[in-house]
Amino acid sequence: MKSQLLEIFQRRHACHLFQADRCISAEDSNFILEAGRLSPSSFGLEQWKFVVLSSQHQKLALQAACFQQPQVGTSSVIVVILAKLADLHPDSEYLRRLMAREYPGDALEAALKNYRSFHAATDIKAWSENQCHIAAANMMTAAAGIGIDSCAIGGFNPAEVIRLLDIDPARYYPSLIMPFGYCAHAPGEKQRLALEELVEYR
Ligand SMILES: Cc1cc2nc3c(=O)[nH]c(=O)nc-3n(C[C@H](O)[C@H](O)[C@H](O)COP(=O)(O)O)c2cc1C
C-alpha cells in the first residue's frame, strides 16, 4: 500500500496539454468528485461547491479566462471549485445546519458563539479557499490513482470566471479550476526539495 500510494504521488503531474479527443467516463468523473466530497474541512463546513463543465464551448470560454492556458480547452472535464462565502456567515442557515452535525445537542450554541468570534477575526475568503485546495489535492490524487491526469489552475481572471459562470459574488468565489483528462505529453522529471531541507525534527 505504501509503495502504491507513493507511486501515485510520483506519477501525478501538472499536465499542460490534454489529448483533446479522449474523454473520461462519467463513472470516473464521479469518482474524482467523490474524492473531493470526502475531503476534510475546517469545522466540517465543506466550504466547496463543484461546478462541472464538459462542453467544448464552455471549456474554450474558460480557457480564455485562464490566459489561454491550453490544458483548459483540451481537457475532457473541468471542475471549477467555488469557495463558499455567504454560507459561512454565523447567521446563515447553512452554517447552523452543518455546525449541528459537528456539535450536536447542547454543544451547538457554545460552538456557534465560538465560531462567531472566529468569523470576525478571520479572512473568510482566504480560509474558504484554503479548504477548497484540500479538496483539489484529493481529487488530483484520486484521478492519478485511476490513470487520469489533471492540472490545478490558479492562473485565471476571477472576474471573468464569475461572469462566465454567472456566479453570485456574495455567495461564491472561484478558488481553483481543475481540468481532467488524458495528458498529451510525458511527465517532466519530478522536481522537489529533499526531505532533509524541508523537515526539522525537534
Ligand atoms: C494552487 C495551484 C495553482 C496552480 N496554477 C497553475 C496554473 O495556473 N497553470 C499551470 O500550468 N500550472 C499550475 N499549477 C501547477 C504547478 O505549477 C505544479 O503543480 C508545480 O509546478 C509542480 O509540478 P507537478 O505538479 O508536475 O509535480 C498550479 C498548482 C497549484 C497547486
The string of pLDDT tens digits covering residues 4-25 is 999 999 999 999 999 999 999 9
Residue type, 104: P
pLDDT of residue 176: 98
Give the residue extent of every domain in the chain.
Answer: 2-185
pLDDT of residue 202: 97
Residue range 65-74, pLDDT digits in tens:
999 999 999 9
Ligand 1 lined by 136 (C-beta under 6 Å): no
What are φ and ψ of residue 81, in 5° steps?
-95, 115
pTM: 0.97
Cell for 31? 469518482
pLDDT of residue 140: 98
CA 40/CA 46 separation, integer angstroms = 8
Q: Which residues does the chain have with pLDDT short of 50?
A: none
CA 65/CA 51 separation, integer angstroms = 16
CA 137/CA 47 separation, integer angstroms = 15
Ligand 1 lined by 69 (C-beta under 6 Å): yes
pLDDT of residue 141: 98
pLDDT of residue 7: 96
Ligand 1 lined by 177 (C-beta under 6 Å): no
pLDDT of residue 146: 98
Candidates 18, 140, 151: which one to mutate for ligand 1, based on the most atoms within 8 Å of Cβ?
151
Question: What is the 125 CA–ligand 1 centroid distance (Å)?
Answer: 21
2-185: CATH topology: NADH Oxidase (3.40.109)
Question: What is the 196 CA–ligand 1 centroid distance (Å)?
Answer: 23
CA 99/CA 104 separation, integer angstroms = 8
Ligand 1 lined by 150 (C-beta under 6 Å): no
Q: Which parts of 78-194 fold into alpha helices (H)?
A: 93-102, 107-121, 124-145, 158-165
Question: What is the 150 CA–ligand 1 centroid distance (Å)?
Answer: 10
